[in-house]
């Protein structure tokens, strides 16, 4: 008789725990402002990855100090 209980309880428990963890992660992602900014891709970040020695904020390349 206990096997019938485990047959539906274990998959239900796993499904509910995954949904709770996914919901918690989504709340953290949307409520923490730094996490959203860290995942943004702009043309400037792409240029920094392709040409790390250039500053994308200055037209014409990097500025020597």
Same domain (yes/no): 45, 63: yes
Q: How many domains does the chain have?
A: 2
Domain-located, residue 59:
yes
Q: What six digits make up the tokens of 41?
A: 């891709």
Domain-located, residue 36:
no
Domain-located, residue 23:
yes
CA distance 18 to 62: 48
pLDDT tens column, 46-63: 666 666 666 665 555 555
Same domain (yes/no): 6, 26: yes
pLDDT value, residue 5? 81
Domain of residue 22: give its range.
Answer: 2-31
In the chain, which stretches have pLDDT less than 50? 64-65
Domain-located, residue 50:
yes
Same domain (yes/no): 6, 25: yes
Same domain (yes/no): 8, 26: yes
């Amino acid at each position: 008789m206990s096997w019938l209980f485990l047959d539906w309880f274990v998959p239900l428990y796993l499904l509910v725990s995954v949904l709770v963890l996914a919901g918690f992660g989504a709340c953290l992602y949307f409520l923490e402002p730094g996490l959203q900014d860290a995942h943004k891709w702009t043309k400037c970040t792409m240029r920094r990855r392709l040409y790390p020695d250039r500053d994308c904020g200055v037209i014409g390349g990097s500025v020597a100090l």
